[in-house]
Amino acid sequence: MSILIPSDPSVFFTEFLPARFAESRALPSADTAGRAAFVVDRVGAWSFQVRNEVLEVEEGVRPETVMQVGVSRSDFDGLFVERTRRKVAEAGGIPADLLMVFLPLFVDQKKKAVADGAEGSLRVDLDDHGATYEVTLTPGSGNPTEPKTIVRMRLEDFLGLMTGDRGIPGLLLRGRLKIRGETAHALRLSGLLG
């Protein structure tokens, strides 16, 4: 079976991702407590929410957005398009762990509480096989700010945080997570990941 991984962010978020979640039945069974937005710099934004076990995707950052995840176009291509293509080629299909990466986009009450009152963006620099990708987390629906904190780690450790297989204390103790800036801010916003 050949799976086409779209390089157009709009098609990726409005068609490809919802179809993959519908096939896998990996969506939360309860409605999400708010929206998360994925922003590809200078390309567009897409807001996500689960209602009645269906992933709803709308263009733009909606006013009720609880958190935003932002990347550049080149980082979108590397992190999502090329990485997904590699994983599909290796597995012969969409591996379940690929969809797990997107589960933090589903806002529960805990994430909503973390985002409420939080100010300032957090940038996460991800190292993967010689490439570095930047992902910015911003609470709320406002414009991203200059990051208060920059966190650096390997992509596999970041994915482990998002799936719950790894924890920040363990990564810090092993020197696999570096924090520059306000540590308390990084720790608070890390609650948006898992």
Domain residue ranges of the chain, discontinuous segments joined by +: 9-192
Average pLDDT, the chain: 89
Segment 116-167, tens digit of pLDDT = 888 899 999 999 989 999 999 999 999 988 999 999 999 999 888 887 888 8
CATH of 9-192, one of 2.60.40.1180, 3.50.50.60, 3.10.20.30, 3.30.1050.10: 3.30.1050.10
Query: Which residue shows structure tokens 């994925």?
Result: 38
SS3 call for 66: strand
CA–CA gap between residue 70 and residue 76 (Å, rounded): 9
Q: Say if residues 5 and 11 touch (Cβ distance below 8 Å).
A: no
Decide if 69 contacts 39 (C-beta within 8 A): yes
3-state secondary structure of 128: strand
What's the predicted TM-score (pTM) here? Answer: 0.90
What are 13-56's pLDDT values in tens digits? Answer: 999 999 888 887 777 778 889 999 999 999 999 999 999 888 89
For residue 194, the model assigns a pLDDT of 65
Reported as half-sphere exposure (CB side, CA atoms, 13 A), residue 58 has a value of 12
